[in-house]
Amino acid sequence: YWSVDSNVDRKKDYPQIVEAADFLKNEELVAFPTETVYGLGASALSDAAVSKIFAAKGRPADNPLIVHISSVEQLELLTENIPETAVLLMNKFWPGPLTLILNKKTNAVSSLVTAGLNTVAVRMPDHPVALSLIEAAEVPVAAPSANKSGKPSPTSASHVLDDLAGLIGGVVDGGPTGVGVESTVIDCTAEVPVILRPGGVSKEEIKEVIGNVEQDPALIGSKAAPKSPGMKYRHYAPVAPLFLTDGNQEWIQGLIDQKRSSGLKVGILAPRESASFYKADAVAVCGSRRDLGSVAQSLYQALRSFDEKNLDLIYAEVYPVKGVGAAIMNRLEKAAAHRRITQEK
């Protein structure tokens, strides 16, 4: 466990960073903060190291990992035939919460990283600790979110330890993450780039840069098979079953009262504006409806908080599917396994 002040500028010779980087060089796992969520890092060049990621997380082997880089020079090692649209996106959004799917250079990284695909997912995170660590490790770093498979992604070092203590080399604690949901994943090998996972960079922002972008139709409100392997698994879910509730507060309180009167313990996930209105066994607050970024930031922390409350079910308010709202609703839909109760008008 290494604690690093995330205010420090990129310092690859910071003693804690050097020590953590040595673990990566020695094919061990190190969890570290990024601007989105904590990642569980391993040298992307080592089969031995990467296989430890799948073991620690309980991650299916057919779900490929994102390779994290600290400079665009590292791209040459990993990819070839980078399309013009990808260059535009990198210039605009890197470092930042955007992952590009590109053509993989043969034998560039461990084939475990790409789950046998001929493409590779790459991103440059916008976090001084992440960038320093990758620089000090002197290798591209494969890193999924540092949670047990199926659980909400970790937005603090303590979430990482809750899930993975004893299973990893260590965690670099750089404080809570900023964006709160994972990076947007965009397939740049298609003629028109396709968003495979909505995330920290919105579709609207991407459109402004490259004009035309498509979205995997499986992403929102659909059970069709998604193109990104990871999106087919149940994910982001608290222990108790979660239901999206699309209606006003009085109606939602009615649902809660009904369940509680039959002896069930009920949780509700709501933004600051309505949280104080609810009477339930657990009320988790996630940001403010007026700022969807603040909802994204505290979403996973709020979902995790339900697990210690021993609930029978959880209700969650819904949000507009625009800007980062697309990522919020994608994660909530998955956490709810698409269960939704809608108020009759």
Which residues here bind Mg ion, judged by CB under 5 A? 145
CA distance 192 to 196: 12
Q: Are strands 242-246 and 2-3 parallel, antiparallel or unpaired?
A: unpaired
Partner whose binding site includes residue 66, from Mg ion, ligand TXA, none (CB under 5 to 8 Å by kind): ligand TXA
Residue 207 or 234 with smaller CB distance to Mg ion = 234
CA distance 58 to 20: 23
Report the run of H or E that residue 104 belongs to, with start and end. none
Helix (H, G, I), strand (E, B) or coil at 168: coil
Which of 43, 70, 79, 99 binds ligand TXA (CB under 6 A)? It is: 99
Residue 70 or 183 with smaller CB distance to ligand TXA = 183
Name the one range near ligand TXA by CB under 6 A: 7-15, 35-43, 201-209, 239-247. 35-43
Asked if residue 44 lies in contact with residue 142, where contact means CB atoms within 8 angstroms, the answer is yes
Partner whose binding site includes residue 241, from ligand TXA, Mg ion, none (CB under 5 to 8 Å by kind): none
DSSP string covering 229-295: GGGGS--S--SS-EEEEES-HHHHHHHHHHHHHTT--EEEEE-HHHHTT--SSEEEE-SBTTBHHHH
Q: How far is the CB of 262 from ligand TXA (least distance, A)?
A: 37
**Over the Cα atoms of the chain, what is R_g?**
20
How far, CA to CA in Å, does 67 sit from each of 21, 42, 102, 135, 168?
16, 9, 11, 13, 18
How far, CA to CA in Å, does 185 sit from each of 20, 62, 230, 317?
27, 17, 11, 25
Bind-site residues for ATP = 59, 63, 119, 145, 153, 197, 236
Tokens standing for residue 104? 């993989």
Q: How far is the CB of 182 from Mg ion (least distance, A)?
A: 6
Residue 36 or 297 with smaller CB distance to ligand TXA = 36
Partner whose binding site includes residue 231, from ligand TXA, Mg ion, none (CB under 5 to 8 Å by kind): ligand TXA
The residues, ordered by sequence, that sit 6+ positions from 107 with a Cβ below 8 Å of its Cβ are none
Residue 36 or 145 with smaller CB distance to Mg ion = 145
Beta bridge partners of 184: 98
Pattern of binders to ligand TXA over 101-140, x per CB under 6 A?
x------------x--x-xxx---x---------------
Does 64 participate in binding ligand TXA (rule CB under 6 A)? yes
Name the one range near ligand TXA by CB under 6 A: 9-17, 143-151, 310-318, 331-339. 143-151
Residue 115 or 264 with smaller CB distance to ligand TXA = 115
Does 299 participate in binding ligand TXA (rule CB under 6 A)? no
Residue 146 or 255 with smaller CB distance to ligand TXA = 146
Count residues binding ligand TXA (CB under 6 A).
29
Q: How far is the CB of 227 from Mg ion (least distance, A)?
A: 16
Beta bridge partners of 215: 195
Which of 20, 66, 90, 332 binds ligand TXA (CB under 6 A)? It is: 66
Positions in 186-205 near ligand TXA (CB under 6 A): 196-197
CA distance 295 to 271: 7
CA distance 187 to 151: 25
Q: Which residues bind ligand TXA (CB under 6 A)?
A: 34, 36-37, 39, 63-66, 97, 99, 101, 114, 117, 119-121, 125, 143-145, 182-183, 185, 196-197, 228-231
